[in-house]
Structure 1
Amino acid sequence: MPIRDAATVIVIRRDGAPSVLMGQRGASAAFMPGKFVFPGGATDPGDAHVPLADLPAAQADALSRDSRQPPHAIAAAAIRELWEETGQMLARPAPWPDAPIGWHGFAAAGHVPSARGLRYFFRAVTPPGRTRRFDARFLLAEASDLITDPDDFSHAEDELSLLQWVPLADARTLDLPFITTVVLAELMAHLADPEAPLTIPFFRNDDEAHLVARLGGRGPL
């Protein structure tokens, strides 16, 4: 099974107890049916042609390590999947007459994507034997950076149902993929000590021990 590059975005809302944006995959979905997940999916060819001049240099450098995709393509995929699956936009107003395929609706809203608040947080490869395999990068975003109403999901496509802001303290009570429980544990530890230097956990799933590597040093991420 070929491994496809993918991006997932974890949007954190802080107007109250911290919560994260999640939705439920359909019961008939080929991948992770019925599970609650963060918005995300595979990179598209057009993502490599999306202008993302505001992707922070430290994030671009981290995303480029051991990667088949340019960093702006991964960040763009995260923004596109968030928009498609939830109707929420990380963007800034600007004309975009030459938007690539897959981004025409985004451009029609009078916006271009903005990656200025994205932070690379986690990476995982789907284990062998699954119906689909992804090399997924998880990126953090703040709900305060959304230009859309965070409670309006009326423009979402139908890939995820029960879209909601889940209190972080309750998220692990949902029916989650294993890797999502791991990501949530990492996120809770990070939010409990936000000043601690950040490294990137990497679940490679390429050996029997399923060892976790830490990407990068404790630098400016």
Structure 2
Amino acid sequence: MTIDKSQVRNAATVIVLRDRLTAPRILMGQRGAKAVFMPNKFVFPGGAVDAGDADIPLANPLPETCHSRLAEDADATLAHAIAVAAVRELWEETGLILGTPGAWDHTPPPDWETFAATGHLPDASALQFTFRALTPPGRPRRFDARFFLVDADDIATDLDDFDAACDELSHLQWVPLDKARSFDMPFITEVVLAEVEARADDRSPPASVPYFKNNDEESLFLRLRGTPMPE
């Protein structure tokens, strides 16, 4: 058996859901044709966790249920960095801010200078952990990706202003949820999309979080429930 030796990187992806109770739409963009990972595909904004993400303070942390589920079958200390990466990647790739008005009490690192200049602190309280997927072996890039659902009402800035976005995603747009499957997207994005469709009108945390665990030995479909909350 050939062993895939590519490094698995932790990653965070954000699914922003707009007008969820009337005409739900999700924010998607297209990866470049020369991208090593999923070229030309329409995806949700997201990317790998950076080493410095663990050191960025949050104005408000993840909800306890989400934190507990992120810690299941994983290094529990990663939960904070993954949440920070979700906020950062959303900002970098779309120019949208998940944050609270406030001034930083220290000089922000380079990755956060433009975010801090808007007068916001990163805030993870609106993120809802919804899906986890480990890229199968043999791919040019492998990610242990955590998908977060967030209501567009919790975005602090203009939902139609993408001027601050980097050029990693093109054709950023609000896609009607019932039309999204007509776009060219990766298989795992379609799977996550089904989960979002099932929860479009429900803001409460899911009963459990699906986890596609594709390791070197086998592919498993698990459910992450975390530590039960005390009654």
- With normalisation by structure 1, the TM-score equals 0.92
Ranges in structure 1 where 5+ consecutive residues have no aligned partner:
none
CA distance 1:197–1:85, change in 2 (3 Å):
closer
TM-fit CA distance, 1:98: 2.9
Residues 77-100 of structure 1 show CA distances to partners (whole Å, capped at 9, x for unaligned) of 011000000000001111113323
**Aligned-partner Cα distance in 1 for 2:217–2:78:** 30
Match of 2:51 in 1: 45
Match of 1:157 in 2: 166
**Aligned-partner Cα distance in 1 for 2:41–2:24:** 21
Match of 1:14 in 2: 19
The match for 1:82 among 90, 101, 121 is 90
Q: Secondary structure at the match of 2:178?
A: coil
Question: 1:22·1:37 contact (CA, 8 Å) conserved in 2?
Answer: yes
User: What's the % identity of the aligned pairs?
Assistant: 56
Ranges in structure 2 where 5+ consecutive residues have no aligned partner:
1-5
Match of 2:71 in 1: 64
Match of 1:54 in 2: 60
Q: Secondary structure at the match of 2:144?
A: strand
Give the counterpart letter for 1:5 in structure 2. N
Q: Secondary structure at the match of 1:112?
A: strand
Give the counterpart letter for 1:8 in structure 2. T
Give the counterpart letter for 2:131 in structure 1. F
Question: 2:31·2:168 contact (CA, 8 Å) conserved in 1?
Answer: yes
- Correspondence 1:100-115 to 2 at 5 A: 100-115=109-124
Q: Which moved more, 1:154-163 or 1:106-115?
A: 106-115
CA distance 1:53–1:109, change in 2 (3 Å):
closer
Match of 1:204 in 2: 213
**How well do the aligned residues superpose, as a CA RMSD in angstroms?**
2.0
Question: 2:31·2:41 contact (CA, 8 Å) conserved in 1?
Answer: yes
Residues 105-151 of structure 1 show CA distances to partners (whole Å, capped at 9, x for unaligned) of 11122111111111100000111111100000001111111111101
Q: Secondary structure at the match of 1:103?
A: helix
Match of 1:172 in 2: 181
- Correspondence 1:117-136 to 2 at 5 A: 117-136=126-145
- With normalisation by structure 2, the TM-score equals 0.88
Give the counterpart letter for 1:117 in structure 2. A
Q: How many residues align?
A: 220
**Aligned-partner Cα distance in 1 for 2:118–2:202:** 38
CA distance 1:88–1:205, change in 2 (3 Å):
same
Give the counterpart letter for 2:13 in structure 1. T
TM-fit CA distance, 1:209: 6.0
